[in-house]
């Protein structure tokens, strides 16, 4: 069963989402005492939670002639760090046209043993040509999610840091026999940095 805002709030009080915002934020103060500026929404919604993109790191795949990206033997040289830009609209990374990038969630998750989380893209980005990869966080998983984005448009696109970037849906089921924690999953306790493929 998909979980609602009341359940998400109660679980967040026990550390499921940190930091946690109990409302959906659509605008923030630009400067102390200054006017409000719109943001891509983040925080609690009716049946989900919109997490933010961390400003800590964003990496973009680049072509290195003569190489092939191998998930079993990943070469970090295939990822180029993106610069964090800033203007009156906020902090942002630029994802070039027809490219793929990796970011990381600002919020840290601690998923209960009887819940799996599905991470889906926000429509604001989808309407701009940015596709967020459908990402799971299994029962018992902890850490900052590494997030994957594809720019399917023919134009460069901004991805805003410290603003909503994907939505989490929480699905509760019968307790599993072996959780991610119990099987010592290889992506457990990810830091607020992009985590590369591991085998």
Instruction: Give the residue carrying structure tokens 């926000």.
Output: 122
* 180 within a domain of the structure (yes/no): no
Residue-range definition of the domain harbouring residue 85 = 5-63+78-172
Residue 133 lies in a domain: yes
Q: Please tell me the predicted confidence (pLDDT) of residue 119.
A: 96
Distance between first and last Cα of the chain: 32
Q: Is residue 135 part of a domain?
A: yes
Output the DSSP codes for 64-119. -TT----TTS--GGGEEEPPPEEETTEEEEEE-TT-EEEEEESSEEE--TTEEEEE
pTM of the model: 0.93
Please tell me the total count of domains within the chain: 1
Report the pLDDT value the prediction gives residue 64, as an integer from 0 to 100: 82
Q: Is residue 138 included in any domain, yes or no?
A: yes
CATH at 31: 2.70.40.10
Q: Are strands 100-105 and 48-61 parallel, antiparallel or unpaired?
A: antiparallel
Task: Judge whether 68 lies within some domain.
Answer: no
The pLDDT assigned to 51 comes to 98
Cα–Cα distance measured from residue 7 to residue 198, given in angstroms and rounded to the nearest whole number: 33
**Which residues are known to be catalytic?**
148
Rg (CA), the chain: 17
pLDDT per residue rounded down to tens, the chain (199 residues): 999 999 999 999 999 999 999 999 999 987 767 788 999 999 999 999 999 999 999 999 988 888 888 999 998 889 999 999 999 999 999 999 999 999 999 999 999 999 999 999 999 999 999 999 999 999 999 999 999 999 999 999 999 999 999 999 999 999 899 998 989 998 999 999 999 888 8
* Tokens of residue 189, six digits: 């306790």
| Residue 152 belongs to a domain | yes
State the Cα angle at 84 between 78 and 85, rounded to 5°.
130
Answer whether residue 188 is part of any domain: no
């Amino acid at each position: 069963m998909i979980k609602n805002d009341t359940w998400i709030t109660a679980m967040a009080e026990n550390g499921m989402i940190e930091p946690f915002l109990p409302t959906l934020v659509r605008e923030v103060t630009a400067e102390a005492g200054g006017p409000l500026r719109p943001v891509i929404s983040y925080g609690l919604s009716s049946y989900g939670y919109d997490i933010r993109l961390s400003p800590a790191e964003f990496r973009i795949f680049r072509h290195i002639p003569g190489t092939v990206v191998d998930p079993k033997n990943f070469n970090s040289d295939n990822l180029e760090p993106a610069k964090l830009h800033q203007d009156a609209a906020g902090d942002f990374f630029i994802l070039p046209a027809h490219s793929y990038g990796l970011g990381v969630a600002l919020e840290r998750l601690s998923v209960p043993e009887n819940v799996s989380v599905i991470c889906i893209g926000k429509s604001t980005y989808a309407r701009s040509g940015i596709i967020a990869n459908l990402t799971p966080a299994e029962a018992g998983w902890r850490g900052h999610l590494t997030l994957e984005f594809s720019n399917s448009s023919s134009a460069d696109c901004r991805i805003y840091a410290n603003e909503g970037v994907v939505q989490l849906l929480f699905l509760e089921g019968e307790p599993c026999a072996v959780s991610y924690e119990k099987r010592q999953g290889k992506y457990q306790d990810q830091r607020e940095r992009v985590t590369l493929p591991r085998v």
